[in-house]
Amino acid sequence: MIPLIGNLRDMNVLSVVVRMLFACLCGFVIGMERSAKNRPAGFRTHILVCLGSATAALAGLYIYFGLGINTDITRISAQVVSGLGFIGAGTIIVTKNLDIRGLTTAAGLWVTGIVGLAIGSGFYEGGIIGTALILFVEAVLTKLAGRIQRRPRTGLRILYSDKNALDLAYGVFRDKKMHVSSVKIDMAPDGGTLRYRADVMLRGSADMEALTDSLEELDGVVSAAEL
């Protein structure tokens, strides 16, 4: 624990001001990294999420200690944790190439809210460490992820009649050292026959002709072709 901030853990006007300002600062620092990369949720969104979460935590503490109402002080904070999922979902999109974008930003918003809850509860150390680790993941590990994802990418369209056929196809991908990055499944009516269509994006190198031949040999697979 940091002894210099011991008095700021008490519920008083000074600690409330410090916690809310500190939440804004942490949200700003995290959000600036997202803004620099032109992500949907920038520093303003992160500030509001962190500040709102801190205020929710403070409200729970005030109801219990300030008003003297014997209640669960974590109830409001618990609702914040689940509610942040709706905000994050708005940043997730699926591109025309079936790539999923915005997952990191959505996760960053969610964990920024958790940082705000920690700060609002007076757990300053958790807020500082959490902010530092979020920046490390989003700024440093993003470069590592980019290098990993630069492997060749291939698209396949698989038409099948048995739901179990897709599980068998995944086994073929594993055998050929291909990794599934995304998949989109929908119905593909063929006359009076009900079929399924899966557009699969793969990473890795493989003989596509041999791969499609292997897929078409599977039970339930009608056809497989490169997109």
In the 3-class helix/strand/coil scheme, how is the chain assigned residue by residue? Answer: CCHHHHHHHCCCHHHHHHHHHHHHHHHHHHHHHHHHCCCCCCHHHHHHHHHHHHHHHHHHHHHHHHCCCCCCCCHHHHHHHHHHHHHHHCCCEECCCCCEECHHHHHHHHHHHHHHHHHHCCCHHHHHHHHHHHHHHHHHHHHHHHHHCCCCEEEEEEEECCCHHHHHHHHHHHHCCCEEEEEEEEECCECCECCEEEEEEEECCCCHHHHHHHHHCCCCEEEEEEC
190-220: pLDDT as tens digits? 666 778 888 888 877 777 888 888 898 998 8
Query: What is the average per-residue pLDDT within 117-131?
Result: 92
- pLDDT over 80 (residue 48): yes
| pTM summary value | 0.63
54-78: pLDDT as tens digits? 999 999 988 888 778 887 888 888 8
The pLDDT value recorded for residue 36 is: 82
- pLDDT over 80 (residue 109): yes
2-11: pLDDT as tens digits? 555 667 777 7
Average pLDDT in the chain: 83
Domain extents for the chain?
Answer: 3-148, 153-226
The CATH superfamily assigned to 153-226 is ACT domain (3.30.70.260)
- pLDDT over 80 (residue 151): no
The pLDDT value recorded for residue 187 is: 82
Query: What is the average per-residue pLDDT within 80-108?
Result: 75
The pLDDT value recorded for residue 180 is: 84
The pLDDT value recorded for residue 120 is: 92
